[in-house]
Structure 1
Amino acid sequence: MARKVKEAAPVAAPGADDLEVLHPEREVTIAGRQLVVREYGFVEGLKLRPLYAPLIENLKPVLAEGELPDLEQVLDLLVQDADALPQLMAAACDQPVEWVAGLGHEHGHNLMLVWWGVIGPFFVRSAAGQLLSERLRAMRRAGATSTPS
């Protein structure tokens, strides 16, 4: 007896999401403004590094446990250096810092969630890279251990 075989769902062409991975962005309306929230460019990220360095340091222990932070952990991490947050968010959406800092709770929270959705992987990659470097340095310092003969 013959059965009708379902057609497979079309598969995206290889590399179709490369741009999203390499340079993610989201369009969102916040407080009546249409924004594009994007990941920092290379040089821009370097210039912002002093602002986000404390976030990376605070993120490393969470990642060291082998888990990605959940939303509550992210909020706890962000509040530890809340003064830098408006600048970091403003840079990602090309808006004045004053505008971001002046948003009401709901609009600010929504922008922060979109910003983290776009920028969060950047911070996670940075923190994970630093953790790996620290572990490799520790292994080199420990040196080769002798084994009993």
Structure 2
Amino acid sequence: MSRPEQAAEASELDVLFPDREIRVAGQTVTVRELRFAEQLRHHHQLAPLAAALAEAEPTELGGLDSVNRIYDLLAAHEEQVIALVAVCCDRDEAWVRELPAADGENLLLTWWGVNSGFFMVLRGIVGKSGLTDREAGKLAVAKHTNACPLLSPCILLILLLSGQATTL
């Protein structure tokens, strides 16, 4: 297998199995993707962050400074992000809050790497894509039925509950 084929295969595996093990504060921590029930349970924390990402200009999230812009958006939603990070690494919020800066940043960047697909797919649906509500709904369903693990049925609920869509 050639290197490009190996890279493509590794990328596909990252999509299918995005969970990561890292060392944080001397402990091995598994940072995992939000599960469906967790997305529903934590909708009130996901919705403001998803809306902020949807409002960002495409050039802000795709250029060289995108890491800084994303970090700014995450920091602006500190309470929600800390709660979501805690859920995704099976730790309590106090543990996440008390991490030294380097460990906290490593955990945050890993969490974003594992869960960014959810937010970026949602951003593409509700952001400045020019899609009508109905088209966005069709896209969400089409991507979900094509076994795209980055898009969950929870997105449809977020669209409706956040006021981003009125009909699908």
Superposition TM-score tier, normalisation by shorter sequence: 0.7 to 0.9
**Unaligned runs of at least 5 residues, structure 2:** 136-168
1:96 aligned residue (68, 77, 92)? 92
Number of equivalenced pairs: 133
Partner of residue 55, structure 2 = 61
Residue 125 of structure 2 contacts residue 131 of structure 2 at CA under 8 Å; is this kept in 1? no
Q: Answer with 1 or 2: which has the greater Rg.
A: 1
Give the TM-score of the pair, scaled to structure 2.
Answer: 0.66
1:37 aligned residue (31, 41, 58)? 31
1:20 pairs with 2:14: yes
Aligned residue for 1:135, secondary structure, equals: coil
1:107 aligned partner, one-letter code: D
1:108 aligned residue (83, 104, 107)? 104
Identity percentage over the alignment?
31
2:115 aligned residue (116, 119, 123)? 119
1:130 pairs with 2:126: yes
Aligned residue for 1:34, secondary structure, equals: strand
Residue 39 of structure 2 contacts residue 46 of structure 2 at CA under 8 Å; is this kept in 1? no
Aligned residue for 2:115, secondary structure, equals: helix
Q: Which moved more, 1:125-134 or 1:96-105?
A: 125-134
1:78 aligned partner, one-letter code: L
CA RMSD of aligned residues (A): 3.0
* 1:126 Cα offset (Å): 1.7
**Unaligned runs of at least 5 residues, structure 1:** 1-6, 140-149
Going from structure 1 to structure 2, the CA distance change for 1:21 and 1:8 (only over 3 Å counts) comes to closer
* 1:137 Cα offset (Å): 3.4
Give the TM-score of the pair, scaled to structure 1.
Answer: 0.74
Aligned residue for 2:62, secondary structure, equals: coil
Residue 27 of structure 1 contacts residue 36 of structure 1 at CA under 8 Å; is this kept in 2? yes
1:35 aligned partner, one-letter code: V
Residue 63 of structure 1 contacts residue 128 of structure 1 at CA under 8 Å; is this kept in 2? no
Aligned residue for 1:36, secondary structure, equals: strand
Residue 39 of structure 1 contacts residue 92 of structure 1 at CA under 8 Å; is this kept in 2? yes
Aligned residue for 2:99, secondary structure, equals: coil
Q: For the residues of structure 2 that align with 1:64 and 1:9, how far apart are their CA atoms? A: 30
Q: Quick check: which one's helix share is greater? A: 2
Residue 62 of structure 1 contacts residue 68 of structure 1 at CA under 8 Å; is this kept in 2? no
